[in-house]
Chain A
Amino acid sequence: MLIQAHRATSIAEGPTLRRILLGITLIFLTLFLLFPLAAVFSEALSQGLSVYWQAINEPDATSAIRLTLLVTGLSVSLNLVFGLCASWAVAKFSFPGKSLLITLIDLPFSVSPVISGLIYVLLFGAHGLFGAWLKANDVEIIFAVPGIVLATVFVTLPFVARELIPIMEAQGRGDEEAARTLGASGWQIFFRVTLPNVKWGLLYGVLLCNARAMGEFGAVSVVSGHIRGMTNTMPLHVEILYNEYNFVAAFAVASLLALLALVTLALKALLESHNTNTPNAPRL
């Protein structure tokens, strides 16, 4: 009662407070998000559309775009499979070392991306643990596409699993057991019961994973070697162009990345509204 009364008065005092809070929020958003975003696009388009088009259509840029899409596609798929396996194992079974596993899944979040990249250099680089063997067998990992994929997978590892574990834990084993008593096989249970139950969370995790995979700079920078047209991803390409004072081209490629991020955000918002607004849709 006391708390409610208190809240009521604070709401009554609201208008001023609300304006101040909203004002601060808007100023921050404008300064740190909208201005930079607008700057990216205005700089990219400062010399007209044809220059913009040339900048993103030149061979090194298209190669960077292709590589980014390839790396993203591979690492998101790998993490989709890993995330499903890990969350299923954690949520539906009990085994020793479960909490350790959950902590390990979080590790990439707490490690600096540069270190994530260095781990792979230490393992697979020329002077690394497996370096000699890899060289003898003519397998290239560091300064090649496999290294970039490895580093990206590592950095984006937690997204899908983190999203799914709480959902699956909340749902428990009841639905799966019910399906079993009704005669369903393991695959039927997975595709007809478990997957539909977590599909929105899964999509959400994939989107986040996707956004991070496309934008990853630090870890990829360490293992890529920045070879133009070969091992340059979009974020690395932006940096190279920028360091060469080729601002228009740098911002043109950056604007593409920003666009991809905006599309991801829009999809995410769409997913969320679908989850809460459609009366017929099952809630998560």
Chain B
Amino acid sequence: MRIDIHDVYKAFEGGSRALNGINMTIADGELVALLGPSGSGKTTLLRAIAGLENPDHGDILFNGGTVAGHDVRDRKVGFVFQHYALFKTMTVRKNVSFGLSILPRKQRPSKAAIIARADELLHLVQLEGLENRYPSQLSGGQRQRVALARALAIEPSVLLLDEPFGALDAKVRKDLRRWLRELHDRTGHTTVFVTHDQEEALELSDRVAVIHQGRVEHMAPPAELYGQPATPFVCSFLGASNQLEVTVSKDQVLHCGHALPLPRPHSITDGPHQLFIRPHEFQIRSVDDQTPGILCRVETVRLSGALVRIDLRFAACGTAIEVEVPILDFERHPWKVGDAAMVTIRNVRMF
């Protein structure tokens, strides 16, 4: 199902703006992440799509038809809550079959059919054998999957997940993430999930919407989001980056006397700008290499798995930068604190 969100505003009691003019379109069968820092409005947006919050202004359309005024009950959304909200007085099977067992008599399948459907879903989420357990007897990952099966039982037109992996430990998180992607590819539901974990968003989704202060900063496929971020916020929020104050005049980018590369293609006006450089977009060489570059001094060297992080300072003005070097390069040239180095820049983004 396709979801269109037009100019949605939502203020909370006390006047704080949770949603500040949201516009986006989610294609049928797409897997979209709403990514943002806490308090950015991403959960409120998800709840507005579900109908758990009513926008003050704007419209939400399912397959082109407005759902304004449609109660949560009628929207047929599968919603997985952050803390799962499993019914603790019911067994796993009762939880999963809840949505079917409350249907009006005429639409309700037979008892046997409901149980069969619940067990089929429990098979899909790989929880066979736990049908008669209570939620308190399950692990976090198992609860998560029960919540998912329960949401899928009503054959929702869209699946909404609020911080689906937030309460799980790192290992379970990774497994469930891969598993959710496979499930999505198999069932083809339009899926929207909220996360504050950029790795999760970039790895799992077809497109990521970065939400900041109740607005969509940038919505794009992960590679584009990372490579060509639309705003300074997206650039600094996604991955590490070095931020330099520069002055542009006549196609020259200047920072404390050094000429830095211009982004390509560009439409930069003259004047002060902010330059963003990812740690891996620097190259550092020995000073005797005769290549032009920025003279720097090594401040600290930290080993972190396959990468080595080196903090440097510009010799001319003391600007601090962080550079990432693959461990193989580092082994060829083991930098030490106090070494002089020539730094060149391969790629930049400017705002």
Residues of chain A having any CB pair with chain B under 8 Å? 94, 174-175, 177-185, 188, 192-193, 196-197, 199, 280, 282-283
Known contacts A182-B98, A183-B103; A175/B85 CB under 8 A: yes
* Contact residues on B (Cβ < 8 Å of other chain), bracket: 20 to 34
B178 at interface (Cβ–Cβ under 8 A)? no
Interface residues of B, dominant DSSP? loop
A188–B108 alpha-carbon span in the complex (Å): 15
Interface residues of A, dominant DSSP? helix
Residues in chain B near residue A192, CB distance under 8 A? 87, 98, 102
A178–B98 alpha-carbon span in the complex (Å): 10
Supplied contacts A183-B99, A183-B154, 11 more A-B pairs, CB within 8 Å:
A177-B52, A177-B72, A178-B79, A178-B87, A180-B52, A181-B52, A182-B151, A192-B87, A197-B87, A197-B88, A282-B89
Interface pair B89/A179, CB less than 8 Å apart: no
Q: Which single member of B13, B71, B99, B134 contacts A182 (CB below 8 Å)? A: B99
Chain B: CB-nearest residue to A184: B102
A193–B85 alpha-carbon span in the complex (Å): 11
B9 CB, nearest partner CB in chain A, Å:
21
Residues in chain A near residue B52, CB distance under 8 A? 177, 180-181
Residues of chain B having any CB pair with chain A under 8 Å? 13, 50, 52, 71-73, 76-79, 81, 83, 85-90, 98-99, 102-103, 134, 136, 150-151, 153-154
Residues in chain B near residue A185, CB distance under 8 A? 73, 102
A211–B123 alpha-carbon span in the complex (Å): 49
Residues in chain A near residue B78, CB distance under 8 A? 181
Interface pair B72/A181, CB less than 8 Å apart: yes
B187 CB, nearest partner CB in chain A, Å:
18
Interface pair B85/A177, CB less than 8 Å apart: yes
Residues in chain A near residue B72, CB distance under 8 A? 177, 180-181
Residues in chain B near residue A180, CB distance under 8 A? 52, 71-73
A sample of 24 cross-chain residue pairs with beta-carbon separation below 8 angstroms, ordered by A number, consists of: A94-B13, A174-B83, A177-B52, A177-B81, A178-B87, A178-B150, A179-B87, A180-B71, A181-B78, A181-B79, A181-B151, A182-B102, A182-B151, A182-B154, A183-B99, A183-B103, A184-B102, A196-B89, A197-B87, A197-B88, A197-B89, A199-B89, A282-B136, A283-B136
A185–B50 alpha-carbon span in the complex (Å): 16
Known contacts A178-B79, A282-B136; A183/B87 CB under 8 A: no
Q: Which 4 A-B pairs have the closest CB atoms?
A: A174-B85, A182-B99, A178-B85, A196-B89
Residues in chain A near residue B154, CB distance under 8 A? 182-183
B123 CB, nearest partner CB in chain A, Å:
20
Residues in chain A near residue B134, CB distance under 8 A? 280, 282
Residues in chain B near residue A94, CB distance under 8 A? 13
A264–B228 alpha-carbon span in the complex (Å): 71
A280–B134 alpha-carbon span in the complex (Å): 7
Known contacts A185-B73, A280-B134, A282-B88; A178/B81 CB under 8 A: yes
Residues in chain B near residue A184, CB distance under 8 A? 73, 98, 102
A271 CB, nearest partner CB in chain B, Å:
15
Known contacts A177-B85, A178-B85; A183/B79 CB under 8 A: no
Residues in chain A near residue B86, CB distance under 8 A? 178
Residues in chain A near residue B73, CB distance under 8 A? 180-181, 183-185
